[in-house]
Structure 1
Amino acid sequence: MLRVIQVNLKQSKCAPDNLRVFLREENFDVGMIQEPWVNGLQVRGLRDSQYDLFYRPVSSNQAFLCPNFSTSDLTVIKLEGSNTDSLLLASAYMAHDQQSPPDEVRRLTSEANTSKTSLLIGCDANARHTLWGSSEINERGESLFDYIIENNLTICNLTPTFTFPSSGLFQILFQLNFETKIPTPYRNPKRIDWKKFSQIFSAKLRSIPNLSTDTVADLESNVLTFERSMITASKASCPVRHSSKTFPPWWNEDLSNLRKMTRTIFNICHKHKFYEPCKDCLRVYKRTTSKRESWEEYCHSIEDIKDSARLSKVLSREHTNPSFLKKLDGSWTISPAESLELLMTTHFPGCEDNTSEVKINPTLLSLTTEHVYSLITRENIENKSPGPDGILPIKLQKQQDIAVPWLEKISKGCLLNHVPKSWRQDHE
């Protein structure tokens, strides 16, 4: 189930921070935003470590930007579901000086109908019609209503309430019955308790008195024992971590209470259509959460080199979107798999899977303990990625006194008669 919020930020500089806090407090998955704060062709204030930001500058996890449909007033992303389902999510702003709906929305709807892909559009349409809670019908509302009927679209408003109050930021909250891939828990290698890892790993391998690789069964068994010992020790010494939603570093309990009070007063004023009491409270809240004051206070609190380096990196980088790619013929990829295939054929043309038998060099049979030690103790091995078995090379380096005799015996057995099945996974 996806929890979604739609809101027009009215180009406010304070609203993005308030929205980010609200997303974390209420645990929303998707935000569909119109008229964000833009400066230097970049959307500002919405960058967050726990959320992906998608937009199309003026001049794409499970979600990918669709550049072929996105414009300055329309951002379209494609969500990949837990199975083969997919969903197009669009955040649109329909300006007064354009037809209702504009051409880019019409083209998106046509593509969704042709490809039979589910489509959800959250928009600030600037169109009035009694069907979605307005008190009157204007020309733009009539045009949008006719288009909805002609294209078999469904209006999702369930209550006859206005979604365009004259004051404040009005949020539209809803849920989608769409199953996405659940983020996989992970283990951070930098958090490994090496002392505990060494105790468990050595205890498991030293409990086996004789290491034999004379037969294929012995070789397979020993490799499996080695891998399981390494993985068991890793799991026991490195706890599972989950992505957690954290608040901005300058946010505190006082600001949370002030925000709740402001929201309560606004709701009361909105109910009675009398906004004077809300203005003073809103003014105090905006001044307290002023981006300039909060930013200055955060910068003054930085004391060590690590934090200052991280801040410098954040300020220097440009925003990029994980997006679909444009082919040489002008068409666009429509899935992550097709995008990866295009990258492979473009950067590695003519590359084929060669599964022919590899001839063994006789000199390799003279593998010695010193050779294995030299491979494990190479420089920069701590930065190497794990193989299909998930074993990081740095773990072998940390336990070289125990691992080297096993690896030497197993490697010689492989060169003589058989390569274990688990070591051939990346070639199958």
Structure 2
Amino acid sequence: MLVRNELTVFLLPNFSNADVVTAKLECDTGNIWLVAAYMPHDDEVGPPPALLRRTLEEASRNGADVIIGSDANSRHSIWGSSDTNTRGESLFDFIISEYLCICNRGNSPTFVTAGREEVLDLTLASHRIAPLISNWRVIDDHSFSDHRYIGFSIDGEGPPRKSFRNPRNTDWEGYRRKLRQTLPRAPGVDTLATADVVDGWVEAFSSACITALESSCPLKTPKGRGKPQWWTLELSEIRASCRRLFNKAGRSGLPDDWVLYKTGLSIYKSELRRAKRISWKSFCEKVEGFHESSRFRRILAKNPVSLGYLKDVDGKWALSSEETLQMLLNAHFPSNTSSTEVPL
């Protein structure tokens, strides 16, 4: 499942483990639980996992819509597999019982290896949000995995991009020039006789400063996330080479070509891990020389994060941002009580 737009989601740790990861998207139109689920082929109980069942039950109690992207390891002709097996029948019964909708379209294989192509990946959605999902497709781009990327669109407006000013890019010479042009002549001391007059001059000075700043530091709108800091030109070349080997192996189907692709993929993943380690080590070395508070500020400024969900003293996880904030309030201000009275 690919998410093209940048959205803020919160991990739900109490509904996540090694095989199931659940995140919550909070938006004005309602809450959406995004679930990535791996269903092991050697699970004796059969699909779906118990945690996925519990996750859907909790989402239903909270009135949240659900979108599930899964490596189901199950075959059924309903979602385009070449045949139907016992796991597929079990999973299909579960889908019907939970009133989930199957978003898969066509029979393009989602799992591709040297000797096998099959539809093993499923996209499911709750019945309320399913009509908004369109353009489901298997993407031909190389995913550097046995499984292909799956893309789809959700109709509706995405979150607006917030414009911002970056003080580091301010044209300070232009700021001073504009400020001199905008500021009125300084008043004499005798003219500042009343508070109203002083307030008027303060307003004029503030307005001039704002005008100068807007002129020398224009608003910027983010264009999307670029390459991570650890990405290098060498990684780009290795990735392109690996993609070419994959395309060649897919066209020819020769075992030797698949071996070359697997070797290239192993090299690419090894270099990827190496680049991340080097970048992280370099980042840590740069902040070691700063004071603790300055170091903390630099880390947050470099990698800003949203406040996640917390666990209270009883071990219960928050299920919304409001609950998280309430936990923080109770922990740091235990005697706090809501009151409509204003102290005098």
Q: C-alpha separation between the residues in 1 aligned to 2:343 and 2:181?
A: 40
How much does 1:131 deviate? 1.8
- Which residue of structure 2 aligns with residue 16 of structure 1? none
Alignment-mate amino acid for residue 33 of structure 2: L
- Which residue of structure 1 aligns with residue 141 of structure 2? none
* Percent of paired sites with the same residue: 29
Q: C-alpha separation between the residues in 2 aligned to 1:143 and 1:90?
A: 19
Aligned-CA RMSD value: 3.9
- Asked which structure has the greater RCO (Cα within 8 Å, sep 6+), the reply is 1
Q: C-alpha separation between the residues in 2 aligned to 1:330 and 1:255?
A: 43
Does 2:290 align with 1:344?
A: no
What SS does structure 2 have at the residue aligned with 1:283?
Answer: helix
Does 2:232 align with 1:251?
A: yes
Q: Which of 151, 156, 172 is the aligned partner of 1:174?
A: 151
**Superposition pairs for residues 7-26 of structure 1, below 5 Å?**
none
Q: Which of 194, 215, 219 is the aligned partner of 1:236?
A: 215
- Which residue of structure 1 aligns with residue 142 of structure 2? none
Does 2:198 align with 1:198?
A: no
Q: Which of 69, 94, 98 is the aligned partner of 2:15?
A: 69
Change (3 A) 1:298 1:105: closer
> Is the CA contact (8 Å cut-off) linking 1:128 and 1:136 kept in structure 2?
yes
Q: CA offsets, 1:172-209, max 9 Å, x none?
A: 22133254423423223333333332333343233464
What SS does structure 2 have at the residue aligned with 1:198?
Answer: helix
> Is the CA contact (8 Å cut-off) linking 2:245 and 2:260 kept in structure 1?
no
TM-score (norm. length: structure 2): 0.69
How much does 1:67 deviate? 1.7
Q: Which of 277, 280, 305 is the aligned partner of 2:257?
A: 277
> Is the CA contact (8 Å cut-off) linking 1:266 and 1:278 kept in structure 2?
yes
Q: C-alpha separation between the residues in 2 aligned to 1:225 and 1:190?
A: 25
Alignment-mate amino acid for residue 99 of structure 2: N
What SS does structure 2 have at the residue aligned with 1:200?
Answer: helix
- Which residue of structure 2 aligns with residue 378 of structure 1? none
What SS does structure 2 have at the residue aligned with 1:171?
Answer: coil
Q: Which of 119, 130, 147 is the aligned partner of 2:66?
A: 119
How much does 1:321 deviate? 8.2
> Is the CA contact (8 Å cut-off) linking 2:248 and 2:257 kept in structure 1?
no
Q: C-alpha separation between the residues in 1 aligned to 2:79 and 2:251?
A: 18
Q: CA offsets, 1:361-415, max 9 Å, x none?
A: xxxxxxxxxxxxxxxxxxxxxxxxxxxxxxxxxxxxxxxxxxxxxxxxxxxxxxx
> Is the CA contact (8 Å cut-off) linking 1:127 and 1:141 kept in structure 2?
yes
Alignment-mate amino acid for residue 234 of structure 1: L
Structure 1 gap ranges (5+): 6-26, 31-60, 358-428
Alignment-mate amino acid for residue 324 of structure 1: Y
Alignment-mate amino acid for residue 82 of structure 2: S
Q: C-alpha separation between the residues in 2 aligned to 1:229 and 1:235?
A: 10
Change (3 A) 1:295 1:256: closer
Structure 2 gap ranges (5+): 115-144, 290-294
- Which residue of structure 1 aligns with residue 126 of structure 2? none
What SS does structure 2 have at the residue aligned with 1:229?
Answer: helix
Change (3 A) 1:281 1:126: closer
Q: C-alpha separation between the residues in 1 aligned to 2:228 and 2:167?
A: 25
Q: C-alpha separation between the residues in 2 aligned to 1:339 and 1:112?
A: 18
What SS does structure 2 have at the residue aligned with 1:68?
Answer: helix
- Which residue of structure 2 aligns with residue 89 of structure 1? 34
**Superposition pairs for residues 146-225 of structure 1, below 5 Å?**
146-167=93-114, 168-177=145-154, 179-207=157-185, 209=187, 212=192, 214=194, 218=197, 221-225=200-204
- Which residue of structure 2 aligns with residue 20 of structure 1? none
- Which residue of structure 1 aligns with residue 120 of structure 2? none
**Superposition pairs for residues 387-426 of structure 1, below 5 Å?**
none
What SS does structure 2 have at the residue aligned with 1:160?
Answer: coil
Q: Which of 295, 311, 322 is the aligned partner of 1:326?
A: 311
Q: C-alpha separation between the residues in 2 aligned to 1:250 and 1:325?
A: 32
Q: C-alpha separation between the residues in 1 aligned to 2:315 and 2:261?
A: 53
Q: C-alpha separation between the residues in 2 aligned to 1:345 and 1:324?
A: 15
Q: C-alpha separation between the residues in 2 aligned to 1:307 and 1:76?
A: 30
What SS does structure 2 have at the residue aligned with 1:206?
Answer: coil
> Is the CA contact (8 Å cut-off) linking 1:65 and 1:322 kept in structure 2?
no
How much does 1:158 deviate? 0.8
